Amino acid sequence: MKDLLTTLENRRTIREFTEEKIDEETIQKILDALMHSPTSMGLQQASLIRITDPMKKKEIAKVGNQEYIERVPELFIFIADHYRNFRLIRDNGRNYDTNSNVDIFLQGFTDAVILASNMVSVVESMDLGAFFIGSILNDTEKMIEILNLPKLTFPVVGVGFGHPNQNPQIKPKMPANLRVFENSYTYFENYKDKFKDYDEEMTTYYDLRDANRRVDSFSNQVYTKTMKSSPKRNEFLEIARKNSYKL
């Protein structure tokens, strides 16, 4: 097992895996460790669903529009989950009608992301490879249907992992001085100039997803990716409201 610092310094997303399975004991160890994750107000307003049914994997791969999801040995979907606490309140004979607001929703969302992030770090420290899959949100309603989610839940992100079957380059990230500030926000005179070196460095990265081609500069990626919008992703709030959140 690698220590956390080494794990983070060497990490990169893995999307292709060998067929070797992860033994159940390891899975249980990972899941037991995850249960210790920090959680907003101690309320544990997030859950995870392990996807073992190949048909469901296929459906999720379709929602995410990424076929490698179908082949990943282990796939988990993390959800904001207020249903459990709602039931706990109701089954104790109390009324839970007023508090499923934006604050509570974001607490659950954050808890789910922390769980997912811890899962990725733990499995990477075991020399397994992992990916996050945010594009499950391409069609949230379909995800709710696939997972049979009750009211007061919302899918957040997926994580897949297994034994790596590819060896991608570590993706260059911007240097800390562009993202880490002290005491107050740091503004730069000219962002184009400030990002020149990082833009150049990014073009040395080969993206295995894109026919092994070099990628565009970071500044260009920011523009093209930010401008791209997915109509269904704009319906988040509506779908969360349909699922009984008061947002």
Spatial CA neighbour of 240 closest among 122, 121, 163, 137: 137
235: left (phi over 0), alpha (psi -120 to 50) or beta: alpha
Measured CA to CA, the distance from residue 52 to residue 66 in angstroms comes to: 17
Per DSSP, the chain holds a count of helices (H) and strands (E) of: 10, 6
What is the three-class DSSP state of 149? Answer: coil
**Residue 187 CB, nearest distance to ligand FMN (Å)?**
25
CB nearer to ligand FMN: pick between 7 and 85: 7
How many angstroms separate the CA atoms of 1 and 76, rounded?
22
Closest distance between ligand FMN and the C-beta of residue 116, in Å? 7
Q: Which is nearer to ligand FMN, 31 or 215 (CB)?
A: 215
What's the min distance (Å) between Cβ of 194 and ligand FMN? Answer: 20
Please identify, using beta-carbon distances, which residue of 60 and 240 lies nearer to ligand FMN: 60
Q: Least distance in Å: CB of 97 to ligand FMN?
A: 32
The DSSP secondary structure of 6-72, one letter per residue, reads HHHHH------B-SPPPPHHHHHHHHHHHTTS--GGG---EEEEE---HHHHHHHHHHHT-GGGGG-
Nearer to ligand FMN, 131 or 161 (CB): 131
Question: CB of residue 9 vs ligand FMN: minimum separation in angstroms?
Answer: 11
Cβ at position 105, least distance to ligand FMN in Å: 17
Residue 110, φ and ψ in degrees, nearest 5: -65, -45
CB of 16 to ligand FMN, least distance (A): 12
Rounded to 5 degrees, what angle do the CA atoms 73, 78, 79 make?
150
Q: Which residues here bind ligand FMN, judged by CB under 6 A?
A: 12-13, 64, 66, 131-135, 157, 171
The residue at minimum Cβ distance from ligand FMN is 134
- Short-list 149, 132, 30, CA closest to 84: 149
Taking the least distance from each CB to ligand FMN, the nearer of 149 and 157 is 157
Closer residue to ligand FMN, CB minimum distance, 8 or 88: 8
Residue 96 or 132 having the CB closest to ligand FMN = 132
